[in-house]
Amino acid sequence: MANLHFHYGVMSSSKSAALIINAYNFTKNGNKVEVIKPAFDTRFSNQQIVSRLGVVWDAIAMPDLSAYKPASNTKVLLVDEVQFFSEADIDSLVRIADQENKIVMCYGLMVDSNEQIFPAARRLIEVGAKLHRMESNCQMSGCMKMATHHLRFDASGNVIRAGDQFALGDSNYKSVCRQHYNELYKGIKQKTK
């Protein structure tokens, strides 16, 4: 089994729920698990992973991973919202996976709402993490295509095309397919026959 994984998908693709399920299953089988998340993520709780499905798991909130060292008996490290960590933090996770022989499973977004890859996600790809795409459908009414992008909206419903990409919450975001992203973000309409 690979020891460094990146489970990525759009918002609402059940990444946190999958992390909690894996934490439960590893723990149930007698494996010591540690769950961490960025201290930046205070949406639901400072010390828990909370899925929109209503399931919860305790977590350690960390501002960065420079001094982090899992317990010697830990077998699995699960990392939520990995996109909010730095590239140096990803290198710390690589050292934990390779030098301490821990399974490290990261969960998060690949790209921001401007189609730019998050630095932490890019670093996970560069260091050879095993990639696992988590799928969800487009959140535009009636669309059944796979969601691949995020749109961010202001209070008036206008698409935001610039600004800080380290924003929490999903109340002003929608996960959309590429076609809806291109139509709403770029103004490119799909040709009809």
Q: Is residue 34 part of a domain?
A: yes
Q: Average pLDDT of 33-59?
A: 82
CATH number at residue 128: 3.40.50.300
pLDDT at 165: 57
Q: At what angle do helices 87-99 and 119-126 cross, to 10 degrees?
A: 30
Q: Is residue 113 part of a domain?
A: yes
Would residue 101 count as lying in a domain?
A: yes
Q: Is residue 88 part of a domain?
A: yes
* pLDDT value at residue 12: 86
In a domain, 165, yes or no: no
Q: How many CA atoms lie within 13 A of 6 on its CB side?
A: 23
* 94 closest CA partner among 130, 124, 122, 73: 124
Residue 193 predicted with pLDDT over 70: no
The average pLDDT across 144-168 equals 82
Task: Select the more confidently predicted residue: 147 or 41.
Answer: 147
Residues 55-64: contacts with CB within 8 Å, 24+ apart? 55/17, 55/20, 55/21, 56/20, 57/19, 57/20, 57/23, 57/24, 59/35, 60/34, 60/35, 60/36, 61/36, 61/37, 62/36, 62/37, 62/38, 63/38, 63/39, 64/88, 64/89
> What are the two backbone dihedrals, phi and then psi, of residue 66, each rounded to the nearest 5 degrees?
-60, -35
Total of domains in the chain: 1
- 149: in domain: no
Domain that holds residue 72: 4-134
The amino acid at residue 149 is H
User: Is 81 among the catalytic positions?
Assistant: yes
At residue 156 the predicted structure's pLDDT band, cuts being 50, 70 and 90, is confident
- Tell me the torsion sign for CA atoms 155, 159, 165, 168: positive
Residue 132 three-state SS = strand
Q: Which two tokens stand for residue 153?
A: 């909206």
CA distance 21 to 15: 10
Please report, rounded to a whole number, the percentage of residues in the chain having pLDDT higher than 70: 91
- pLDDT bin (cut points 50, 70, 90) of residue 160 is confident
- CA 41, CA 166: separation in Å to the nearest integer? 10
Q: Which of 81, 87, 100, 126 is catalytic?
A: 81
Quick one: which of 85, 21, 9, 83 has its CA closest to 51?
21
Residue 176 pLDDT grade (very low, low, confident, very high; cuts 50, 70, 90):
very high
Round the average pLDDT of the chain to a whole number and report it.
Answer: 90
Q: Considering the domain boundaries, does residue 39 fall inside one? A: yes
CA 148 vs CA 12, 24, 127: distances in Å: 11, 28, 23
- H or E stretch at 151: strand 149-152
Q: Which two tokens stand for residue 190?
A: 């799909």
Q: What is the pTM of this model?
A: 0.90
Establish if 20 belongs to a structural domain: yes
The string of pLDDT tens digits covering residues 104-149 is 999 999 999 899 999 999 999 999 999 999 999 999 999 999 999 9
